[in-house]
Chains A and B, each alone.
Chain A
Amino acid sequence: MQRELKDDLPLEHLMRLAQQGEQQAYARIFQEIIPILRGFVSKKLQRPEDTEDVVQEILISIHRASHTFDTDRPFKVWMFTIARYRLNDYLRTVYSKNKKGMEVAFDDEVFDISNEENVTKSHENQEYLIKIMSTLPVKQRNIISMMKIEGYSIQETAEAMSMSVSAVKVSAHRAYKLMALKAQEIEDKE
């Protein structure tokens, strides 16, 4: 029989009740952890749809690992270990995909296409950017693409490129200089 649950029950206690068959307690756990997980994942991922995908993955993992939780231990430590594991798994998959196909993924970029003018403008900017970036050495182009188009942090880019953070910064700085020079060249020609 389901009973009314108090509002301030800790997650460990809720899990104990859930393991005893209280569906309501199990539902409450998910409701309470979702905002925490969204906050945790969104620090690493920029696109909300990616965040939601990873949060769902984490929820499924928590459910699948529910038999390994010892209710005498803090719930959040257990939960965050799973969350970190799944998030790293996701990032690893994304990085390995990027490594395999290092072409600049402009198609993935979201442009504001609410009116025709914006579409034209976006395409012009895109072409201009492609033109300048195509003159960069491959490594610098990849770094700029990851940091400025795909939205990775310096740390994430460094990990994906198997470089140190400072090496990424130096490479990016050189790339900006080259891009500025190239932009100047193009403007002079036009």
Chain B
Amino acid sequence: MKTEDLIQQLVNEGPQKPMPHPMRQTMVWLLGMLVYLILITMYIGFRPDINQKLGEISYTFEFILLLGLGITSALSAFCLSRPDGHQMPWLKFVPFGFLLVWIITAFSGMSEQINLENLAHSMALNHFDCPSYIAIFSIPPGMALFFLVRMGVTTQCYWAGSMATLSVTSFGYLLMRLIEPNDNPAHLIVWHALPIMLICMLGMIIGRLVLKWR
């Protein structure tokens, strides 16, 4: 086909209706996610010491950081659903800032409790229910987020996939902190943080399979 004919054909079809701004998509997404989070938490029930925990600065700060992680990674995923990443290539690194601060604040001053013996002991307890909850909680919003990202066009499918997964799993982690009364750092590392890392890696692969622009 001649290029001129192709252009005529494309012009006749006309451009597609523009997508909403990534910020707007994130706000809508966040609203849906919070409703989902509240409904699930109400169904399962808050941890018994929630009132006391909310009074602790470190817990509230952790809560805010996880929220920040979930929001910025969702925003990154939406920006990455544009071929040019909405021309903000630095944005995909912002969630790592939240992640780093969260790791430092959540586990600082606990070096005595985080040792090989405790980690091995925690592993032996087989708390598979925690990662299962995180995964189950993350699957429906994860599917929705992947679907929304797929409505765009991504040229960085691994990044988009991992950001989408990081967003939903950070909300999953948040949920677990709201419902599970276990603050043992070894448990949190082995049964919460590590599974999230694995799920994010899986998200990268899913991103490659589902989001690649063909």
Contacts and interface: CB of A to CB of B under 8 A. Distances in A.
A66 B15 contact: yes
Given A19-B17, A69-B18, A64 B3 contact: no
Interface string B1-15: 101001110111111
Interface residues of A, number: 32
Contacts of A19: 15, 17-18
B134 to A, nearest CB: 31
Contacts of A110: none
Given A73-B86, A73-B87, A78-B83, A56 B13 contact: no
A70 B18 contact: yes
B138 interface: no
A23 B7 CA distance: 11
A55 B82 contact: no
A77 B16 contact: no
Contacts of B21: 70
Given A19-B17, A66-B16, A85-B155, A73 B10 contact: no
Nearest to B10: A63
Nearest to A23: B11
A160 to B, nearest CB: 21
Interface stretch (A24-32, A144-152, A161-169, A181-189): A24-32
A74 B84 CA distance: 10
Contacts of A34: 3, 7
B14 A18 contact: yes
A67 interface: yes
B152 interface: yes
A59 interface: yes
A148 to B, nearest CB: 30
A105 interface: no
A59 B6 contact: yes
A85 B153 CA distance: 11
